[in-house]
Structures are given as structure tokens and as C-alpha cells.
Amino acid sequence: MTSFHPDKVTAERLTGNKASTGPQGPPRDDGTLLEDPSVRSPLVLNNRSLHDVTEIVCGYAENPPGKWWLPLFMFTATVAGIGTLMILYLLITGVGVWGLNNQVGWAWDITNFVFWIGIGHAGTLISAILCLFKQKWRTAVNRSAEAMTIFAVICAGIFPGIHVGRVWFIWYVFPIPNSNAIWPNFRSPLLWDVFAVSTYATVSLLFWFMGMIPDFATLRDRADKRLRAGSGLSKLSVQCPITGIKFFSLPFSADGVRALVYGFLALGWRGSSRHWHRYEAAYLILAGVATPLVLSVHSIVSFDFATSVIPGWHTTIFPPYFVAGAIFGGFAMVLFLLIPAREIFPNFKDILTLRHLENMAKIILVTGMMVGFAYAMEFFIAWYGGNKFEVEVFINRATGPYWWAYWTMIFCNVVTPQVFWKRSMRTSPLAIWTVALFVTVGMWFERFVIIVSSLHRAFLPGEWHMFFPTAVDILTFVGSCGIFLTLFLLFLRFLPIFPLAEIKAVMPQGDPHGHSDDHDQSDKNNAEGGH
């Protein structure tokens, strides 16, 4: 343990101000995965001081991100643009450009909607439930997971909006007085969806933005300080990432823009005790408000199906099954995005440690088995319930024309997470990333299987139709991935991607009891990251 907190640096570190220049003390197994059960792994590695953390996190937003960023951004933005053009084409031409038919009236559109709305749930779980349960490791992932939630909800919101065909009538979903004397049907789960998703989007946005206010203030003050020191007066210039040729430069400095924009977003935050007191209270309230949303939003999304009388949809297991699946898919997306970021950004691994990845791998394993259980229960109840249409739907699901979708789902969602029983897999970023990719694919297929395989055969054989996606179907979905990744890249580039204050609070320096003269006690407390 003493190797984590060698005495020679403890004094400096405990002041909380002295910057360390780099890793201090030998790294041991990434330092996070201790064999000694009496000691908790540290949440920030390499004996970083508080100032180090500020420098690292603000550095991501202040410094050019490296040559990879702009080409990647241009690529994802192009994909997003293609998706937008596809939506425009749909609006101009009509929903006939999709592969829908009389029997399969919902297909990729609603699959994509449920897929994206599910992705967001990891962010809400991390920010709300793990906050209330005081899971300190959440601090390293909550900001990016919340950002992901917002972006996923944006992507999700597109699909129900455009699948109605005549998008200019979408205001019918809101209870607005109108000259038709008709009102939304409050008995329809599709309307509950409107309220569930819009509440979810609002609360998630508030949570995300409020958490960033102190960090915006930090970025503002750093820019302001550089401006006053006269070191921030370089002109803002844009240059080609490959050749280095300068395209143009603007007549104001980057720090001037930062001070203005971050200053505006910081809403006058000065970091006074009164500010912090209210901030903490508001954070707790929002966590309390958001906690039921983790369970309610996807439950209501599942009602879209469960309250209908279509065999394969009409099951009571849907709400818990959907919620588990949403958290499962959401964590997979968090890992899918953060593991590459962890490799690319300097010092990212000090804050997002292997222990964090291992924790999330465990959640993937647990929720993966929950959805596996739900898949099995659907078949069991179909048989046990004795409804032969229900039995037929499920046999058709596994052996009918969409068998490949069903077994892709089973393989990705149930089989691949099982590798996490082995610790070496849970601590290998490459293995985790691969499983996360499989799970993301599998969760998309889960929604496709539920929707299309239940719809494509109705009670009368005359109503049997296959669904085949058109190029517009495919490109719209790919485009939504482009929108999601574009927004995430902008987030990585310009916003504080870790919550500074929260991370500092889980560092040894943030522990008010960790400064005793008793070295053994002090070491232990420091290593636990406080109480």
C-alpha cells in the first residue's frame, strides 16, 4: 500500500496544489486491481494532485485534440449529413421509401427508436441511482454517460417523429387545443411515450448541464487568467489537419472565446459555499427525480408493445425485461465509446481506470443474464400459457424466416457476455470493447426481433409478409449513428468530460479524515479514497 502513497510525495500531494509531473511510484497491474481485500483500489491513479486532475481534464477542452479528431469528425458529420438527406427524402416522398408494408407497419423506425432510447439508460443509472447509492466509481464515467444519454435521446426522438409520415402533424401528439375538437388519446401508451421521453430528455439535460456548471466556471477562470497574463492572445486559426496549411485566422483569441462562452454557460458560478450548498441540494433532488425515470421510461416504451394484443408482444415480462436490456445496452455503449477515448487521450487512464472498466463489465454480465432469463421466460410462458398462437410466434421467431436475427441476438446478448466470468477478460480493454460491440449489435437485433418477427405473421396466412429494409432504411439508421458520434466528438473536444469536483472528492486529498499522523491509518484511508 505504501507504494501507492510513498511518503516522499504525500506531503506535497496533501496540499492539493502541487502538480506532479507524471506517474510517481511504480505502476503495479495498473494499480487498480488489488489482491488485498481490506483495501479499496484508488479511483485516480499515479498519485495525481488535485491540480493535476484540473490540468488533465481542462487540457482536453483547451488543447488541440490531436490529428485524429478532425478527420473523424468530418467523417461522422458526413454520415450524419447523409442521414439527414435520407430523412428529407422521406419527408418529400413519403414513408413508401422505407420497406414497410401493410403487415409490418413498424420496422427499422421503431427498432431504432427503442435502440437509442435504451442506450441512454446507462447514463441515467450512473448519474442517479449510483449517486444515491454513493458508488464513488461513478465519478469517472457519469459525465460522458450523461452526454451519451442526451445524444441518444436526440437520435431516438427523430424516429417516432418521422415514422408518422406526415411529420407536420406531429403536433397532434401534444394536447394543444385545435379546430378539430379532438384530443390525444390518454389511454394510448404511444401518448405516454411522448410524456415519458420528453420528461426523460428534460431531466437528463438539466442533470448534465447542472453538473457541468462548476467545471465551466473552472474553464472560464483558466481562460480569463491566461488572458490577463497576456499569454492567451494568440489568434484563433484553423489549419488543415494533414498538410498543416492555415486556412484562416480570426481576429480574436481562443481564450477570449472560451472566457465568453464558458463564462456564459457557467451562469455566474463563483464557487462560494452558498453556491456549493445549493448545488449539492439540487444535485440530490435531480438524482431523486431521475431515479424513477431509469425504470419508468423504458417500461412505458415497452407498453407500446405489451398493451397490444399481438402474440409475441402481449407479455407482462416486457417492462422489467426492457429496463434490464436498456441498462445492458447503455453500459455497452459507454464502454464502446470510452475505451477508445481512454487509449487516445493522454492520462485518461489515470481517471478511468481498469477498475471502472471491470465494474462496468460486471454490470454487463449481470444485465446480460437478466435479458437471457427474459428470453427464456418468454418461451416458457408461451408454452405454459397454452395459447397456440403465442407458441407459434415463438417457434417462428427461433426457426422461421428471421431465425438469423434471433440467433444473432442470442449469441451477442447471452453468449458473449459470459466471457466476463473470467477476470482476465473483465480487465482486458480489448476484450471488453469487443463484447460491448457485440452487445450493441445484439441489442439492436433484440428490438428488431421483437418488432418484425411478431408482426410479419398475423393470424391469417393471407396477412403474412416479409420485411426487407430499403437503402433509405439503412442509411437513416447509419445516419443516426453519425449524428450520435458527431455530437459525442464535439463533447470530447469542447466540454469538461470528467466532473472535476466530484473526482477530487473521491481522491485521497478529498478525505477529511485522511491526514492523521498515524501512517498506517492514513495510508489505509487514503487508499480507500475516503468514506
Q: Which residues on adjacent β-strands are paired with residue 246?
A: 239
Chain positions 21 to 60 lying near another protein, rule: CB under 8 A, are none
259 contacts another protein (rule: CB under 8 A):
yes
Using CB under 8 A as the binding rule, whether residue 479 contacts another protein is answered as no
Q: Are 40 and 31 in contact (CB under 8 A)?
A: no
Take residue 25 and report the three cell numbers written for it.
511510484
Amino acid at 188: S
Among 52, 193, 215, 221, binds another protein (CB under 8 A): 221
Q: 267 or 376: whose CB is closer to another protein?
A: 267
Among 92, 182, 245, 460, interactor with another protein by CB under 8 A: 182
**Least distance from another protein to the Cβ atom of residue 207, Å:** 18
CB of 376 to another protein, least distance (A): 42
C-alpha cell of residue 209: 448541464
For residue 467, CA distances in Å to 96, 356, 456 come to: 13, 41, 7
Query: Binding of another protein at residue 185 (CB under 8 A)?
Result: no
Stretch that binds another protein, among 84-92, 172-180, 203-211, 491-499 (CB under 8 A): 172-180
> For another protein, which residue of 92, 181, 242, 460 counts as binding (CB under 8 A)?
181
Task: Name the minimum Å distance from CB 269 to another protein.
Answer: 10
Among 52, 224, 255, 378, binds another protein (CB under 8 A): 224
Minimum distance from CB of 247 to another protein (Å)? Answer: 29
Residue 305 to residue 479: CA distance in whole angstroms: 26
CA distance linking residue 16 with residue 107, whole number of Å:
55
Q: Which of 413, 436, 423 shows the shortest CA–CA distance to 335?
A: 436
Comparing CB distances to another protein, the nearer of 181 and 245 is 181
What SS3 state is found at 518?
A: coil
178 interacts with another protein by CB under 8 A: yes
Say if residue 437 is exposed, middle or buried (CB neighbours under 10 Å; 0-12, 13-18, 19+): middle
Please pick, from the candidates 260, 341, 377, 458, the single residue that binds another protein as defined by CB under 8 A: 260
Q: Give the C-alpha separation, 306 to 163, whole Å.
A: 20
Given the rule CB under 8 A, which of 5-13, 173-181, 207-215, 425-433 is the region that contacts another protein? 173-181
The residue from 11, 176, 309, 460 that contacts another protein (CB under 8 A) is 176
Q: Which of 21, 179, 316, 424 lies at the binding interface for another protein (CB under 8 A)? A: 179
Q: Map residue 246 onto helix, strand or coil.
A: strand
CA end-to-end distance (rounded Å), the chain: 18
138: exposed, middle or buried (C-beta count within 10 Å: 0-12, 13-18, 19+)? buried
Q: Does 135 bind another protein (CB under 8 A)?
A: no
Nearer to another protein, 263 or 330 (CB): 263
Nearest CA to 437 among 359, 355, 333? 333
Instruction: State the SS3 of 95-157.
Output: HHHCCCCCCCCCCHHHHHHHHHHHHCHHHHHHHHHHHHCCCHHHHHCHHHHHHHHHHHHHHHH
Q: State the minimum distance, in angstroms, from the CB of residue 286 to another protein.
A: 17
Candidates 22-30, 257-265, 287-295, 427-435 — which segment interacts with another protein by CB under 8 A? 257-265
Number of residues binding to another protein, judged by CB under 8 A: 18
Position 273 contacts another protein (CB under 8 A): no
Does the protein bind another protein through residue 264 (CB under 8 A)?
yes
Residue closer to another protein (CB basis): 37 or 230: 230
- Please report whether residue 274 would count as binding another protein according to CB under 8 A: no
Contact indicator for 499, 102 with CB cutoff of 8 Å = no
Is 177 one of the binding residues for another protein (CB under 8 A)?
yes
CA distances from residue 466 to 101, 408, 448 in whole angstroms, order as listed: 9, 18, 13
| 235: helix, strand or coil | strand
The answer to whether residue 175 forms part of the interface with another protein (CB under 8 A) is no
Q: Cell numbers for 382, please give them.
A: 408461451
C-alpha triplet 400, 308, 393: angle, nearest 5°: 15
Residue 180 touches another protein, criterion: CB under 8 A:
yes
Q: Which C-beta is closer to another protein: that of 266 or that of 361?
A: 266
Give the nearest distance from C-beta 181 to another protein in angstroms: 3
Q: In angstroms, what is the minimal distance from the CB of 179 to another protein?
A: 4
Site pattern 191..220 for another protein (x: CB under 8 A):
-----------------------------x
Q: Binding to another protein by residue 330, rule CB under 8 A?
A: no
Nearer to another protein, 102 or 179 (CB): 179
386: left (phi over 0), alpha (psi -120 to 50) or beta: left
Hey, CA dihedral for 236, 237, 242, 243, is it positive or negative? Answer: negative
Look at the block and give the residue holding cell 445524444. Answer: 151
Task: Enter the C-alpha cell of residue 265.
Answer: 454557460
Instruction: Establish if 267 lies at the interface with another protein (CB under 8 A).
Output: yes
Stretch that binds another protein, among 89-97, 221-229, 334-342, 404-412 (CB under 8 A): 221-229
Report the amino acid identity of residue 363. I
Nearest approach, Cβ of residue 180 and another protein (Å) = 4
How far is the C-alpha of 345 from the C-alpha of 66, rounded, in Å?
9
What's the rounded Cα separation, in Å, for the pair 329 and 437? 10
Q: Looking at beta carbons only, is 263 or 372 nearer to another protein?
A: 263
Q: 221 vs 390, which CB is nearer to another protein? A: 221
**Which residue, 81 or 184, is less far from another protein as judged by CB?**
184
270 binds another protein per the rule CB under 8 A: yes
Reading the block at residue 229, the C-alpha cell is 497574463
**Strands, E assignment, 436-524:** none
501 is a contact residue toward another protein (CB under 8 A): no
Residue ranges binding another protein (CB under 8 A): 176-182, 220-221, 224, 228, 259-260, 263-264, 267-268, 270
